[in-house]
Structure 1
Amino acid sequence: MDEVERVERAMVAIRRRQSRRALAPAGEPAGQAFEVLDVVESTTDATVSMVAAALGADQPRTSRLVAAAVDSGFIERVADQQDGRRSKLALTEAGQEVVAAAHRRRAAMVAEAMDDWTAAERAQFATLITRFVERLPGSRT
Protein backbone atom coordinates (compact mmCIF):
# COMPACT_ATOMS: atom_id res chain seq x y z
CA MET A 1 0.00 0.00 0.00
CA ASP A 2 1.47 3.38 -0.95
CA GLU A 3 1.44 6.57 1.13
CA VAL A 4 -1.60 8.07 -0.61
CA GLU A 5 -3.66 4.96 0.15
CA ARG A 6 -2.48 4.99 3.76
CA VAL A 7 -3.52 8.64 4.18
CA GLU A 8 -6.90 8.01 2.51
CA ARG A 9 -7.61 5.08 4.83
CA ALA A 10 -6.52 7.07 7.86
CA MET A 11 -8.88 9.88 6.85
CA VAL A 12 -11.77 7.43 6.56
CA ALA A 13 -10.94 6.04 10.00
CA ILE A 14 -10.89 9.55 11.47
CA ARG A 15 -14.23 10.41 9.86
CA ARG A 16 -15.84 7.26 11.24
CA ARG A 17 -14.50 7.80 14.76
CA GLN A 18 -15.01 11.51 14.99
CA SER A 19 -18.27 12.54 13.42
CA ARG A 20 -19.87 15.79 14.50
CA ARG A 21 -22.51 13.83 16.36
CA ALA A 22 -19.86 11.86 18.25
CA LEU A 23 -18.43 15.14 19.46
CA ALA A 24 -21.78 16.13 20.95
CA PRO A 25 -22.53 13.02 23.00
CA ALA A 26 -26.06 11.72 23.45
CA GLY A 27 -27.75 13.49 26.29
CA GLU A 28 -25.97 16.77 25.65
CA PRO A 29 -28.50 19.55 25.14
CA ALA A 30 -27.30 20.41 21.63
CA GLY A 31 -28.04 16.94 20.23
CA GLN A 32 -28.52 17.02 16.46
CA ALA A 33 -28.26 20.79 16.42
CA PHE A 34 -24.53 20.40 17.03
CA GLU A 35 -23.93 20.02 13.30
CA VAL A 36 -25.40 23.48 12.78
CA LEU A 37 -23.48 24.97 15.72
CA ASP A 38 -20.23 23.59 14.38
CA VAL A 39 -20.81 25.22 10.97
CA VAL A 40 -22.02 28.56 12.36
CA GLU A 41 -19.02 28.75 14.68
CA SER A 42 -16.59 28.25 11.81
CA THR A 43 -18.33 30.51 9.26
CA THR A 44 -18.53 34.27 9.23
CA ASP A 45 -21.89 35.65 8.15
CA ALA A 46 -23.55 32.22 8.30
CA THR A 47 -26.94 31.78 6.65
CA VAL A 48 -29.23 28.78 6.33
CA SER A 49 -28.02 28.34 2.74
CA MET A 50 -24.39 28.33 3.84
CA VAL A 51 -25.14 25.78 6.56
CA ALA A 52 -26.96 23.58 4.03
CA ALA A 53 -23.97 23.69 1.69
CA ALA A 54 -21.50 22.94 4.48
CA LEU A 55 -23.57 19.98 5.71
CA GLY A 56 -24.37 18.72 2.24
CA ALA A 57 -28.03 18.75 3.26
CA ASP A 58 -31.13 19.99 1.51
CA GLN A 59 -32.78 23.28 2.47
CA PRO A 60 -35.83 21.79 4.27
CA ARG A 61 -33.69 19.55 6.52
CA THR A 62 -31.28 22.40 7.24
CA SER A 63 -34.15 24.77 8.02
CA ARG A 64 -35.50 22.24 10.56
CA LEU A 65 -32.06 21.83 12.16
CA VAL A 66 -31.57 25.60 12.35
CA ALA A 67 -35.08 26.07 13.79
CA ALA A 68 -34.33 23.44 16.45
CA ALA A 69 -31.06 25.19 17.34
CA VAL A 70 -32.88 28.54 17.57
CA ASP A 71 -35.68 27.01 19.68
CA SER A 72 -33.07 25.47 21.98
CA GLY A 73 -31.40 28.84 22.47
CA PHE A 74 -28.10 27.90 20.84
CA ILE A 75 -28.40 30.10 17.75
CA GLU A 76 -30.08 33.39 17.05
CA ARG A 77 -31.16 34.99 13.81
CA VAL A 78 -29.64 38.42 13.25
CA ALA A 79 -30.86 40.88 10.62
CA ASP A 80 -28.41 41.34 7.76
CA GLN A 81 -27.52 45.03 7.71
CA GLN A 82 -26.70 44.82 3.97
CA ASP A 83 -29.87 42.98 2.91
CA GLY A 84 -32.99 43.30 5.06
CA ARG A 85 -34.56 40.22 3.43
CA ARG A 86 -31.82 38.00 4.77
CA SER A 87 -30.97 36.92 8.26
CA LYS A 88 -27.63 35.70 9.50
CA LEU A 89 -27.07 33.04 12.12
CA ALA A 90 -24.99 33.62 15.23
CA LEU A 91 -24.17 31.52 18.27
CA THR A 92 -25.77 32.57 21.51
CA GLU A 93 -23.85 32.36 24.77
CA ALA A 94 -25.31 28.89 25.34
CA GLY A 95 -24.26 27.87 21.82
CA GLN A 96 -20.76 29.19 22.41
CA GLU A 97 -20.53 27.09 25.58
CA VAL A 98 -21.54 23.93 23.69
CA VAL A 99 -18.97 24.60 20.97
CA ALA A 100 -16.26 25.39 23.53
CA ALA A 101 -16.97 22.08 25.29
CA ALA A 102 -16.63 20.28 21.94
CA HIS A 103 -13.27 22.00 21.33
CA ARG A 104 -12.11 20.81 24.75
CA ARG A 105 -13.21 17.22 23.98
CA ARG A 106 -11.47 17.28 20.61
CA ALA A 107 -8.27 18.70 22.11
CA ALA A 108 -8.31 16.03 24.82
CA MET A 109 -8.72 13.28 22.20
CA VAL A 110 -5.85 14.66 20.13
CA ALA A 111 -3.63 15.08 23.19
CA GLU A 112 -4.33 11.50 24.26
CA ALA A 113 -3.56 10.15 20.79
CA MET A 114 -0.22 11.99 20.77
CA ASP A 115 0.71 11.57 24.44
CA ASP A 116 3.82 9.51 23.70
CA TRP A 117 5.02 11.70 20.80
CA THR A 118 7.98 14.01 21.15
CA ALA A 119 7.51 17.76 20.90
CA ALA A 120 9.25 17.64 17.52
CA GLU A 121 6.85 14.95 16.24
CA ARG A 122 3.81 16.96 17.39
CA ALA A 123 5.16 20.10 15.72
CA GLN A 124 5.91 18.26 12.47
CA PHE A 125 2.49 16.61 12.42
CA ALA A 126 0.75 19.95 13.11
CA THR A 127 2.64 21.56 10.23
CA LEU A 128 1.97 18.74 7.78
CA ILE A 129 -1.71 18.18 8.57
CA THR A 130 -2.43 21.91 8.45
CA ARG A 131 -0.74 22.20 5.06
CA PHE A 132 -2.60 19.11 3.85
CA VAL A 133 -6.02 20.38 4.94
CA GLU A 134 -5.40 23.79 3.40
CA ARG A 135 -4.84 22.11 0.03
CA LEU A 136 -7.98 19.96 0.13
CA PRO A 137 -10.78 21.02 -2.24
CA GLY A 138 -13.37 23.15 -0.46
CA SER A 139 -11.04 24.06 2.38
CA ARG A 140 -12.31 26.97 4.47
CA THR A 141 -9.34 27.38 6.78
Structure 2
Amino acid sequence: MPTSQDMTTDLDHGLLDALQHQVAVFARRAEQTRLGGTGQLRNSMDRAAYLLLNRLDQEGPMGVKALAAGMGIDSSTVTRQVAPLVDTGLVKRTSHPEDGRAVVLQLSPRGQARLEEVRSSRRELMAQVTDGWTEAERESFCTLLTRFNSALSARQAGLPPAEREADRETETAPAS
Protein backbone atom coordinates (compact mmCIF):
# COMPACT_ATOMS: atom_id res chain seq x y z
CA MET A 1 0.00 0.00 0.00
CA PRO A 2 1.52 3.37 -0.98
CA THR A 3 2.31 5.82 1.78
CA SER A 4 1.25 9.43 1.82
CA GLN A 5 4.77 10.39 0.74
CA ASP A 6 4.62 7.96 -2.20
CA MET A 7 1.32 9.45 -3.30
CA THR A 8 2.73 12.98 -3.15
CA THR A 9 5.70 12.08 -5.32
CA ASP A 10 3.39 10.37 -7.82
CA LEU A 11 1.23 13.47 -8.16
CA ASP A 12 2.14 16.44 -10.29
CA HIS A 13 3.90 18.91 -8.00
CA GLY A 14 2.83 21.77 -10.27
CA LEU A 15 -0.82 20.83 -9.88
CA LEU A 16 -0.48 20.49 -6.11
CA ASP A 17 1.27 23.88 -5.96
CA ALA A 18 -1.52 25.45 -8.00
CA LEU A 19 -4.17 23.80 -5.80
CA GLN A 20 -2.63 24.95 -2.51
CA HIS A 21 -2.23 28.45 -3.95
CA GLN A 22 -5.87 28.61 -5.06
CA VAL A 23 -7.03 27.33 -1.66
CA ALA A 24 -4.94 30.07 0.02
CA VAL A 25 -6.39 32.73 -2.29
CA PHE A 26 -9.91 31.41 -1.66
CA ALA A 27 -9.38 31.50 2.12
CA ARG A 28 -8.12 35.08 1.95
CA ARG A 29 -10.96 36.26 -0.28
CA ALA A 30 -13.55 34.41 1.79
CA GLU A 31 -12.22 36.04 4.96
CA GLN A 32 -12.05 39.48 3.31
CA THR A 33 -15.62 39.32 2.09
CA ARG A 34 -16.68 36.89 4.83
CA LEU A 35 -18.87 35.58 2.02
CA GLY A 36 -21.43 37.70 3.77
CA GLY A 37 -23.84 38.30 0.98
CA THR A 38 -25.03 41.35 -0.86
CA GLY A 39 -26.63 44.69 -0.12
CA GLN A 40 -27.35 45.73 3.46
CA LEU A 41 -26.56 42.25 4.80
CA ARG A 42 -23.03 42.13 3.38
CA ASN A 43 -20.62 41.13 6.18
CA SER A 44 -23.52 41.18 8.62
CA MET A 45 -22.93 37.84 10.36
CA ASP A 46 -19.61 36.30 11.21
CA ARG A 47 -18.72 32.78 10.17
CA ALA A 48 -18.98 31.27 13.66
CA ALA A 49 -22.45 32.69 14.26
CA TYR A 50 -23.67 31.56 10.84
CA LEU A 51 -22.37 28.02 11.30
CA LEU A 52 -23.85 27.71 14.81
CA LEU A 53 -27.25 29.06 13.79
CA ASN A 54 -27.28 26.89 10.68
CA ARG A 55 -26.45 23.76 12.71
CA LEU A 56 -29.23 24.50 15.23
CA ASP A 57 -31.65 25.08 12.36
CA GLN A 58 -30.70 21.88 10.54
CA GLU A 59 -30.51 19.59 13.58
CA GLY A 60 -32.79 21.21 16.13
CA PRO A 61 -32.23 21.99 19.81
CA MET A 62 -29.16 20.42 21.41
CA GLY A 63 -26.70 20.75 24.24
CA VAL A 64 -23.34 22.46 24.03
CA LYS A 65 -21.44 19.15 23.93
CA ALA A 66 -23.51 17.80 21.06
CA LEU A 67 -23.20 21.07 19.17
CA ALA A 68 -19.43 21.12 19.70
CA ALA A 69 -19.05 17.49 18.63
CA GLY A 70 -21.14 18.05 15.50
CA MET A 71 -19.03 21.03 14.52
CA GLY A 72 -15.72 19.43 15.42
CA ILE A 73 -14.77 22.14 17.91
CA ASP A 74 -14.23 22.39 21.67
CA SER A 75 -17.20 22.87 24.03
CA SER A 76 -15.58 25.97 25.53
CA THR A 77 -15.37 27.48 22.05
CA VAL A 78 -19.07 26.82 21.45
CA THR A 79 -19.93 28.32 24.85
CA ARG A 80 -17.92 31.45 24.01
CA GLN A 81 -19.42 31.74 20.50
CA VAL A 82 -23.01 31.13 21.65
CA ALA A 83 -22.94 33.76 24.41
CA PRO A 84 -23.41 36.78 22.10
CA LEU A 85 -26.10 34.89 20.16
CA VAL A 86 -28.02 34.38 23.41
CA ASP A 87 -27.42 38.02 24.43
CA THR A 88 -28.85 39.27 21.13
CA GLY A 89 -31.83 36.91 21.26
CA LEU A 90 -30.87 34.76 18.26
CA VAL A 91 -30.47 31.64 20.40
CA LYS A 92 -32.30 30.76 23.57
CA ARG A 93 -31.23 28.50 26.40
CA THR A 94 -33.91 26.15 27.67
CA SER A 95 -34.02 23.21 30.07
CA HIS A 96 -33.64 19.76 28.61
CA PRO A 97 -37.11 18.13 28.44
CA GLU A 98 -35.88 14.93 30.14
CA ASP A 99 -33.26 16.38 32.48
CA GLY A 100 -34.18 19.81 33.80
CA ARG A 101 -30.60 20.36 35.01
CA ALA A 102 -29.18 20.19 31.47
CA VAL A 103 -29.27 23.20 29.16
CA VAL A 104 -30.37 22.96 25.55
CA LEU A 105 -29.60 25.58 22.91
CA GLN A 106 -32.36 26.41 20.46
CA LEU A 107 -32.74 28.79 17.56
CA SER A 108 -35.19 31.52 18.56
CA PRO A 109 -37.85 32.84 16.17
CA ARG A 110 -35.70 35.98 15.85
CA GLY A 111 -32.67 33.79 15.12
CA GLN A 112 -34.62 31.85 12.49
CA ALA A 113 -35.70 35.06 10.75
CA ARG A 114 -32.18 36.51 10.89
CA LEU A 115 -30.65 33.29 9.56
CA GLU A 116 -33.07 33.28 6.62
CA GLU A 117 -32.18 36.92 5.81
CA VAL A 118 -28.49 36.04 5.78
CA ARG A 119 -29.06 32.85 3.75
CA SER A 120 -31.05 34.79 1.18
CA SER A 121 -28.30 37.39 0.88
CA ARG A 122 -25.63 34.71 0.59
CA ARG A 123 -27.64 32.84 -2.05
CA GLU A 124 -27.72 36.06 -4.06
CA LEU A 125 -23.95 36.42 -3.66
CA MET A 126 -23.40 32.83 -4.83
CA ALA A 127 -25.67 33.48 -7.82
CA GLN A 128 -23.66 36.59 -8.72
CA VAL A 129 -20.26 34.95 -8.23
CA THR A 130 -21.25 31.93 -10.35
CA ASP A 131 -23.16 33.92 -12.95
CA GLY A 132 -22.40 32.36 -16.29
CA TRP A 133 -21.80 28.91 -14.80
CA THR A 134 -24.06 26.09 -15.88
CA GLU A 135 -26.14 24.26 -13.29
CA ALA A 136 -23.86 21.24 -13.81
CA GLU A 137 -20.79 23.38 -13.09
CA ARG A 138 -22.36 24.72 -9.88
CA GLU A 139 -23.29 21.19 -8.79
CA SER A 140 -19.83 19.86 -9.61
CA PHE A 141 -18.12 22.69 -7.73
CA CYS A 142 -20.38 22.16 -4.72
CA THR A 143 -19.74 18.41 -4.76
CA LEU A 144 -15.97 18.85 -4.98
CA LEU A 145 -15.88 21.59 -2.35
CA THR A 146 -17.98 19.42 -0.01
CA ARG A 147 -15.62 16.51 -0.63
CA PHE A 148 -12.58 18.74 0.01
CA ASN A 149 -14.05 20.09 3.26
CA SER A 150 -14.98 16.59 4.41
CA ALA A 151 -11.44 15.35 3.70
CA LEU A 152 -9.98 18.23 5.69
CA SER A 153 -12.36 17.52 8.55
CA ALA A 154 -11.53 13.79 8.53
CA ARG A 155 -7.82 14.57 8.48
CA GLN A 156 -8.22 16.98 11.39
CA ALA A 157 -10.13 14.28 13.29
CA GLY A 158 -7.18 11.93 12.72
CA LEU A 159 -9.02 9.42 10.55
CA PRO A 160 -6.72 7.18 8.50
CA PRO A 161 -6.83 7.70 4.71
CA ALA A 162 -8.90 4.53 4.13
CA GLU A 163 -11.67 5.84 6.43
CA ARG A 164 -11.49 9.27 4.83
CA GLU A 165 -12.13 7.67 1.46
CA ALA A 166 -15.02 5.58 2.85
CA ASP A 167 -16.64 8.70 4.32
CA ARG A 168 -16.68 10.28 0.88
CA GLU A 169 -19.50 8.04 -0.24
CA THR A 170 -21.84 9.39 2.45
CA GLU A 171 -21.11 13.08 1.96
CA THR A 172 -23.83 15.54 1.16
CA ALA A 173 -23.83 19.30 0.93
CA PRO A 174 -25.71 21.04 3.74
CA ALA A 175 -29.22 22.11 2.90
CA SER A 176 -29.88 25.83 2.97
Task: State TM-score, norm by structure 2.
Answer: 0.56
Q: Does 1:6 align with 2:22?
A: no
Match of 1:115 in 2: 131
Amino acid at match of 1:116: G
Once the two structures are aligned, what percentage of the paired residues are identical? 25
Q: Which has more radius of gyration?
A: 2
Paired AA for residue 18 in structure 2: R
Which string of whole-angstrom CA distances, capped at 9 and with x for unpartnered residues, describes residues 49-85 of structure 1? 45567485773x7545433322211111122234332
Structure 2 runs not aligned, ≥5 long: 1-12, 155-170
RMSD: 3.5
Say whether residues 1:136 and 2:149 are aligned partners. Answer: no
The one of 73, 86, 89 aligned to 2:89: 73
Write the letter of the residue equivalent to 2:116: A
Counting matched residue pairs gives 136
**Corresponding residue to 1:42 among 55, 58, 64:** 55
Aligned to 1:95: 111
Cα deviation, residue 94, structure 1: 1.2
Is the contact made by 2:90 and 2:111 (CA closer than 8 Å) also made in structure 1?
Answer: yes
Amino acid at match of 1:107: R
Structure 2 distance, partners of 1:133, 1:98, is 26
Map Cα deviations across residues 91-134 of structure 1 (whole Å, 9 max, x no partner). Answer: 11111122112212222222222112233322322332233333
Show structure 1 runs of 4+ deviating over 4 A.
49-58, 138-141
Partner of 1:16: 28
Distance apart, 1:37 and its partner CA: 4.8
